[in-house]
Chains A and B, each alone.
Chain A
């Protein structure tokens, strides 16, 4: 049958519709890539606001139940977009032997951070040589990278499945380091589909065994920004765990650039560290 004009038009319409449907299906499947999930997650977890402040209480708990406490105020300021440079200022309240110590980090995209430590007993500011990738943050189960983030380009990311955590729909992303420069061989992250916060992370060692477990135990909205206010990192091999809770959380409080200087490391302004 030779299609007449009417039929021809209908055929074209059909083809266009089918192509459109197919294409929209493709677009639907291409809606988000694992790299985009991780990038959004980094933004939601570590880059919210122009600046950020929290009183951080860390409990380091040994297998036997012995507890040590690290209490500090953390101030962060971003410059530029997600994944860009950041400055951190940390003031220690506890334990007694580090009281009044301050610590400053200039974190850069794609190169090692600069770090300075102020030791009040001898009134000295020094640069310290420490590497993010395998340095425990103040003896806790968190590394510096866990605290201030890992360069996303250092890993390949794959979306392995979708799953619920605590009733929340999550993407599950497998991140494998391109160069074996960390303790784990790969990491699985459960990223909340709505706010992109990591709700759970599993770290697997070089033999492929689960050895470190992160969980976001409480999420609260601060100035409409969903914020993980309680978290735990547990080392399954040593039985040691670190519980962290944030209080006095605030965003966009107008921290000046001048805070991140030797002057204020030595004399941290009360209004910022309280």
Chain B
């Protein structure tokens, strides 16, 4: 994770269903999604009977609210997040095919908007020594616990900082993934023609450091969909002496935009773009010292700024992490991580950094602690996750209590507390954005 700069003020013009109204608008937001899903559902039931296709329908109803505790939002609101959400997950399979569609319909009180979102939707084909997945899918690589080196796939940091369930930190990508399984190793090959950036917290709700706050004319441009811009990623993995070993390669773009002002001294307009990036990495995980040890590293080759002289594009980096987790007593597990981000060509970066821009450290460090205790036959979970940066001296704390009332109903109460560092450091900038959140879910 890196510093978050605000994204452009311009909104996408996707063809979506927007509704503005009262509490019950969520019900009105449902019909378009419902119609589609009902058709799919009927089709599935029919195919089940007619063609012997295995189908299943699951999902949940969820309420998710996150309240400010340190200060109001920049736009005056009190909630970082407040929404009701309904998810429907359809599975259908008949060898060698499998179809999965996961769709969310939600009403968000912050924006007084309802919407429908396709979280995942893909078809699998499985053969003996290979398989393929085509469509919107979530891909998770690497070993870090909330620290990402070789997981180069899109994230939603707004979801993470707003106290949404952890699965919403990951965003799906529209891609083709092929798995190859020869005897000597396994391979995943991914081709993604449509670039999907990370989502960063909305400046209406979070205080994000902005080096050019006066310039409001901003235009954000995703890499155009073309053969040359198509992202490609490869992972090869196998067992090496009882350890899970992986090597990774990615060719694509930084998922955090860089700013390109029309004039550095007197900017009036900023173009936001996603610089080109390659990542080469490796990881190793296995049992050691009565626990599990994880090691991961990656070289970030910033293709548009290989000399490090362009201050607006991130320099190349080497990222690395070491993690250790261990069960200490019944239903209690502790995990520790150390993460470093080393900037190459630091001299060139420093020399070319424009006035008014905060200077990043040559080695950005992060440590994390995760403590988890289950109680009452694992129906109550108490957890604490902390980030602390020894280089920036800022932190984030996330205590949480989750209880499963029944097999179908659970609720989680937690908090996100930020502080320390400087107004431009990763967590320091969010100092006034502390929040307490509630997640409740009925699952079926």
Contacts and interface: CB of A to CB of B under 8 A. Distances in A.
A139 B379 contact: yes
A134 B330 contact: yes
B268 interface: no
B181 A263 contact: yes
Given A122-B138, A270-B93, A99 B292 contact: no
A262 to B, nearest CB: 7
**Interface extent on A, as a size class?**
35 or more
A1 interface: no
Interface string A104-142: 000000001010000001111011111100111011110
A60 B377 contact: yes
A222 B38 CA distance: 43
A132 B325 CA distance: 15
B138 A96 contact: no
A240 interface: yes
A195 interface: no
A139 B376 CA distance: 8
Interface in B285-314: 285-287, 290-292
Main secondary structure of the interface of B (DSSP, over half): strand
Interface stretch (B4-12, B209-217, B353-361, B401-409): B401-409
Contacts of B379: 68, 139
A69 interface: yes
Contact of A129 (B54, B167, B186, B326): B326
Contacts of B378: 136, 138-139
Nearest to B441: A97
Given A112-B290, A123-B139, A129-B333, A136 B408 contact: no
Interface string B90-131: 000101001000000000000000000000000010100001
Contacts of A267: 98, 124, 126, 131
Contact of B408 (A95, A126, A183): A95
Contacts of B286: 114, 127
Nearest to B142: A124
Nearest to A183: B330
A203 to B, nearest CB: 15
Contacts of B335: 129
B19 to A, nearest CB: 27
Contacts of A139: 374, 377-379
A97 B406 CA distance: 11
Nearest to B169: A122
A183 B330 CA distance: 10
Contact of B443 (A95, A127, A131): A95
Given A129-B325, A136-B377, A262-B237, A99 B58 contact: yes
Given A96-B407, A123-B137, A262-B237, 13 more contacts: A95-B404, A97-B410, A123-B140, A123-B170, A126-B143, A129-B335, A131-B290, A134-B329, A136-B378, A139-B378, A240-B377, A263-B181, A267-B124
Interface of B: 54, 58, 60, 93, 95, 98, 124, 126, 131, 137-140, 143, 166-167, 169-170, 179, 181, 186, 237, 242, 244, 285-287, 290-292, 325-327, 329-331, 333, 335, 374, 377-379, 404, 406-408, 410, 441, 443-444
